[in-house]
């Protein structure tokens, strides 16, 4: 069985070799490789190499750095098929879905080419006494990115591309479940002309995370993943005087008004709710029907759409979605369904025994829908990271907004309606970072800020968009005067003015 290592200083390297973890193919349920787990000493060595390389990269011209971004974009497009295959083998998502992920990853790269224009400072001439004042944005140094399993390419590039475009070096710790895509990206960055040591991949677990959080040369940390881990990273990282942006769980609500196009709403809910086996932080989790009649009509529309969804291997062109990431995840999803039914929810579609075209040992879970879910049920309160969705009933938009805003998570929220008044009220009052109006997945394009609210985000940064540049740079403000000739100035201890 092959061993997967790391990418440090522009080279594929092996680590200490003291600990290993199995990497699985979710479509077959079998181990495909063993992953070398780094220790603190190895992390320290990687950071030292990154810090040394960053000195020259941070001083490089904007033109040079942007040229690398453009070249990498070309290589990303040219290697779409190969990267989609890697994603499918280790994540389980279908090839078609993996290519969709790569298309969105391109947005992050394309947006990073705007770094020169976005990093321009301000200038004021002769604010007083012949003094000019100007500001400039400069890189932080070495930053860490801790990525999840569900988007092995898109999220790492959303985290890191702007960071490198403005002159930082990156230490990426991918999920130990999907390590290979990050290593493949390292080869593409090298081909694009990125200097050795600017993109580094260190594989491992909590030992690596703690080493990054505690190291004095890591200036900022970006994390995407579970809420419990994100909260831990935020508090520990900030305690070590680092900037931290942690993007965590979601329980995204779709409110459907009685006047909505119900067929469009049902189709949108299935698409946004079950794509990628629902392993998306922006997946629709809860359909909130306003009125029992609306709920019954939606249930009638949803049931055949959900039952028609096909589950299969990542390379099955007929599959709508693939396996979930692990046997533990499969068990957790099925247990959540059973608990929801035990608590009184009505099982409209049971995906636990859904037919599957893949290996029987694969980590497959079909699409499920539970009706009459109540706010007091754990099935509603907790994020179910798999294809089990909830249908809830309320009597008014007031109740729907109260329900949505009372949840601990605020990643995204959606309304389907034909009423401009209802939509405007929803946009104004709903407490979510991504908002959709007749749009099922409210993830903006790469040049708009993206990040959740409440316990879906820790820190004030955004994962991508203009805030990413601000997160990965520090601001310097310079006051300067160049007198024509030296002149005697009387000494004064009064606070200086600008007359």
Query: Which residue do the tokens 């405007």 mark?
Result: 424
Characterize 345-354 residue by residue with b for buried, 16 or more Cβ atoms within 10 angstroms of its Cβ, and e for exposed. Answer: bebbbbbeeb
Euclidean distance between CA atoms 379 and 228, whole angstroms: 18
Q: What count of other Cβ atoms lies within 10 Å of the Cβ of residue 197? A: 24
Characterize 284-321 residue by residue with b for buried, 16 or more Cβ atoms within 10 angstroms of its Cβ, and e for exposed. Answer: bbbbbbbeeebbebbbebbeebbeebebbbbebeebbb
Reported residue count of the chain is 499
Which phi and psi (to 5°) does residue 486 adopt?
-65, 140
* Alpha helices by DSSP H, 145-216: 154-165, 180-191, 206-214
Characterize 233-248 residue by residue with b for buried, 16 or more Cβ atoms within 10 angstroms of its Cβ, and e for exposed. Answer: bbebbbeeebbbbbbb
Helix (H) or strand (E) holding 409: strand 409-410
- 145 as an active site residue: the answer is no
**Token pair belonging to 460:** 């004030």
CB distance 211 to 40 below 8 Å: yes
Q: What count of other Cβ atoms lies within 10 Å of the Cβ of residue 280? A: 23
Tell me the sheet residues that pair with 356: 311
* Alpha helices by DSSP H, 33-153: 40-59, 62-78, 80-91, 95-112, 115-118
Gyration radius (Cα) of the chain, Å: 25
Q: What count of other Cβ atoms lies within 10 Å of the Cβ of residue 492? A: 7
DSSP code, position 63: H
Q: Could you write out the DSSP letters of every residue in 425-487? A: HHHHH---SEEEES-S--PPPTTS-B--EETTEESS--SBSHHHHHHTEEEEEEEEE--SS--
The answer for residues whose C-beta is within 8 angstroms of residue 433's C-beta and 6 or more apart is 410, 411, 412, 450, 451, 452, 453, 456, 457
Catalytic residue IDs: 281
């Amino acid at each position: 069985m092959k061993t997967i290592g790391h990418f440090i200083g522009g080279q594929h390297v092996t680590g200490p070799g003291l600990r290993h973890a199995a990497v699985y193919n979710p479509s077959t349920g079998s181990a495909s490789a063993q992953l070398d787990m780094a220790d603190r000493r190895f992390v320290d060595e990687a950071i030292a190499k990154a810090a040394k390389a960053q000195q020259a990269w941070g001083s490089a011209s904007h033109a040079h750095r942007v040229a690398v971004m453009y070249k990498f974009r070309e290589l990303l497009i040219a290697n779409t098929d190969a990267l989609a295959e890697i994603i499918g083998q280790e994540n389980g998502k279908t090839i078609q879905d993996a290519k969709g992920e790569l298309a969105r990853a391109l947005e992050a790269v394309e947006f990073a080419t705007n770094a020169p224009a976005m990093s321009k400072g301000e200038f004021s001439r002769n604010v007083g006494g012949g003094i000019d004042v100007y500001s400039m944005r400069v890189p932080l140094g070495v930053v860490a990115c801790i990525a999840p399993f569900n988007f092995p390419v898109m999220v790492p590039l959303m985290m890191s591309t702007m960071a490198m475009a403005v002159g930082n070096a990156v230490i990426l710790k991918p999920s130990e479940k999907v390590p290979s895509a990050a290593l493949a990206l390292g080869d593409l960055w090298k081909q694009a002309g990125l200097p050795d040591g600017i993109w580094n991949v260190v594989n491992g677990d909590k030992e690596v995370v703690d080493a990054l959080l505690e190291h004095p040369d890591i200036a900022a940390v970006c994390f995407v993943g579970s809420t419990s881990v994100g909260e831990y990273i935020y508090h520990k990282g900030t305690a070590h005087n680092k900037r931290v942006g942690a993007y965590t769980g979601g329980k995204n609500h779709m409110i459907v008004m009685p006047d909505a196009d119900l067929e469009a709403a049902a189709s949108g809910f299935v698409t946004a709710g079950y794509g990628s086996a629902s392993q998306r932080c922006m997946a629709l989790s809860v359909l909130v029907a306003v009125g029992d009649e609306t709920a019954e009509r939606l249930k009638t529309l949803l049931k055949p759409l959900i039952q028609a969804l096909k589950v299969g291997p990542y390379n099955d062109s007929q599959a709508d979605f693939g396996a979930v990431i692990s046997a533990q995840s499969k068990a957790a999803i099925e247990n959540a369904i059973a608990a929801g039914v035990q608590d009184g929810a009505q099982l409209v579609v049971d995906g636990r025994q859904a037919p599957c075209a893949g290996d029987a040992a694969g980590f497959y879970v079909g699409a499920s829908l539970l009706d009459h879910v109540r706010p007091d049920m754990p099935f509603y309160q907790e994020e179910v990271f798999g294809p089990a969705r909830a249908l809830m009933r309320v009597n008014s938009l007031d109740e729907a907004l109260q329900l949505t805003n009372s949840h601990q998570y605020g990643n995204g929220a959606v309304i389907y309606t034909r009423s401009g008044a209802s939509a405007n009220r929803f946009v104004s009052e709903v407490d979510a970072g991504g908002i959709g109006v007749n749009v099922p997945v409210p993830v903006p394009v790469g040049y708009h800020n993206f990040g959740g609210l409440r316990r879906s985000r820790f820190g004030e940064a955004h994962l991508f968009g203009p805030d990413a540049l601000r997160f990965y740079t520090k601001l310097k403000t310079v006051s300067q005067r160049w007198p024509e000739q030296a002149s005697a100035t009387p000494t004064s201890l009064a606070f200086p003015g600008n007359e």
